[in-house]
Amino acid sequence: MALPMVLGGAAQAATCEGSASGTQLTVRVTGVPVAKGEMAITLYPDSSKRFLAPGGKLLRVRPAATAPVSTACFNLPAPGYYAVAVYHDVDGDSDFDRSRIGMPLEDFGFSNDAPTPIGLPSFKAARFHAGAGETVLNIKLRRQR
């Protein structure tokens, strides 16, 4: 399980998505196989009903993919529980590509390395706590093709 790390220094508020605050989240996506396309990094608030639901996101960024690690930063409204979902949009079509039977065709990951044996993880499995200051969250991409 990847645990968030809280750092004592000031975050890069100017480069973070969202309204400036004293609570920042830096997401490091590891295992990016190629620097092609973009990373879709989506932040969800503390709500099991909004997690992965259409319109349920708090913030989303789509930085250019860099290999082997891509990074994004969010200003959070306050310390608390959140969840993150990531996918590598290699073709840059802003859509998570799936096979005819619904299997992922693009690499993906979740905070807490939430398991996906059959279907999507629950908010409870993916949630993490972000404290005041900066929290760094590592998410490893996985392939399930």
Domains and CATH numbers, the chain: 5-140 (2.60.40)
Mean pLDDT of 22-30: 95
Of 33-37, 89-93, 126-130, give the lowest mean pLDDT range.
89-93
| Between residues 7 and 131, the one the model is more confident about | 131
> What pTM was computed for the model?
0.85
Residue 12 has pLDDT above 70, yes or no: no
Task: Decide if 25 contacts 139 (C-beta within 8 A).
Answer: no
Mean pLDDT of 38-63: 93
Angle at 109 between CA 56 and CA 94, to 5 degrees: 60
